[in-house]
A and B are shown apart, each in its own frame.
Chain A
Amino acid sequence: MHPLKTDSPLIVYLDVKSPYAFVSVKPTLALERELGLEFDWRPYTLDIPSYLGSARKEKGAVVESSGRSPKIWNAIRYAYKDARRYAEQQGYILKGTEKIWDSSIANMGILFVNLYFRDRLPQYLEAVYPPFWRRELDIEDIDVVKGCLENAEVDSSGFDDFVSGNGKTMHDQILTHRFDVGMYGVPTYVLGEEVFFGREHLPYIRWSLTGKRGTPPDVCNELTV
């Protein structure tokens, strides 16, 4: 799977453990509906410790931390606070995480649904994202992820084989080539040859997908109810 190649007008890369990806889901789905298009939704599992250091919390307090300066801590605190206010605007709850999760199985769920049950994709995203961010899901447990698939009315019987076979191969190919194609975070949008990091580019993407008429829009986090 080439990270930039698709038959769809737009590729959307997400990671379930990213708060910014969480708050991008609703506006991206809204854009897809508004334009009557089918986007190509894919996983990109972030390797957070490689660029933000690592930390572990217990009962809300940091008990372990490495490689994080005061500015990095400010950036991380702000990221959660910022994502939380937009999540609340969208009617969701977003709680800070206690650890850096391995979200690869839940992310392979995105790929599984996108490939074989495309019409259930909004339901799967709704089944996995909001409960995870309410701290109600152990997304490292494949049975929990299969439960999310079932909640989205997706037949999960082939998911075990997918996670140990094709799904893992495709998931890992994206990770292997992410830097070569200019990707480093989520949400990432691929529009033709252009790669955009962040949902603030959705106005430009809309403008571009609708014929580039009128004044080009600036970056903007649109408020989505």
Chain B
Amino acid sequence: MITAYIDFKSLDCFLALDPILRLAEDCRVNVSWQPFRTKERALPTQVASESVTQSHHRVRTESERRLQRHYADLRGLDIDTSRAQVDTSAALRWLAGLEGDSSLFVKRAFSAHWIDQTDINDSAVLQELTADCELSIRQEAIDLDSLESQAVARGLFDAPTFFIEEHMFMGRAHIPLMRQLLTDMDCH
């Protein structure tokens, strides 16, 4: 089993989706999708008296955006990066309440947010997606803050983050090592 912490508004999470689903299919394991809100900052503006810390964070954010865009372009995805600024907390809360394998729901929700530019916080949209994926939802209230505190206690600091048992992997670049780990587990 792979546990995947995601945020719908994170382009890195969207770009990780297909590779992780492919890995899960190849290794015949399920994915448990969990919410973790990322901080998707707007691009900082360079100011005249910028400190080293401010310069570092500005250049880092610019670089991360540029590289996200680079790999989205390579896949032929037409992406509006401003979608990263659209809060998707309600959709994440909904995800945490779903019962059953929510992979199809996650795939459709990401596509709705990033490709169709649909408001996935809208409960009608969420209900329709849930029904289309033949899932049910628990009725109790979901406290995202509490779920995220538990995740931080587990070592999380950003998303996408994946766990295979106690092994933590931040980002999709680790798929070869995750594959090796899953293969070794299968062999033993």
Contact = CB atoms under 8 A, between A and B. Distances in A.
Interface stretch (B48-56, B90-98, B106-114, B132-140): B48-56
Interface stretch (B24-32, B121-129, B171-179): B171-179
A78 B63 contact: no
Given A197-B63, A219-B71, A82 B152 contact: no
Contacts of B180: 223
B59 A74 contact: no
Contacts of B168: 78, 81
A82 to B, nearest CB: 7
B119 interface: no
A51 B173 contact: no
B63 A74 contact: no
B87 interface: no
Contacts of B176: 220-223
Contacts, number: 79
Given A50-B53, A182-B59, A220-B175, 15 more contacts: A47-B56, A50-B56, A51-B57, A71-B152, A74-B155, A78-B157, A89-B177, A179-B56, A184-B59, A200-B173, A204-B74, A219-B172, A221-B174, A223-B176, A223-B177
Interface string B144-171: 0000000010011110000000001111
B175 A72 contact: no
10 contacts: A50-B56, A51-B56, A77-B155, A85-B177, A178-B59, A179-B58, A184-B60, A201-B67, A218-B172, A223-B177
A185 interface: yes
Interface of A: 47, 50-51, 70-72, 74-75, 77-78, 81-82, 85-86, 89, 178-179, 182-185, 194-198, 200-201, 204, 216, 218-223
B44 interface: no
A71 B56 CA distance: 18
B80 interface: no
Contacts of A194: 70
A182 B173 contact: no
B52 A47 contact: yes
A218 B172 CA distance: 9
A51 B66 CA distance: 20
Nearest to A75: B157
B62 interface: yes
Nearest to A200: B173
B100 interface: no
Interface string B15-51: 1000100000000000000000000000000000001
Contact of B157 (A72, A184, A196, A216): A72
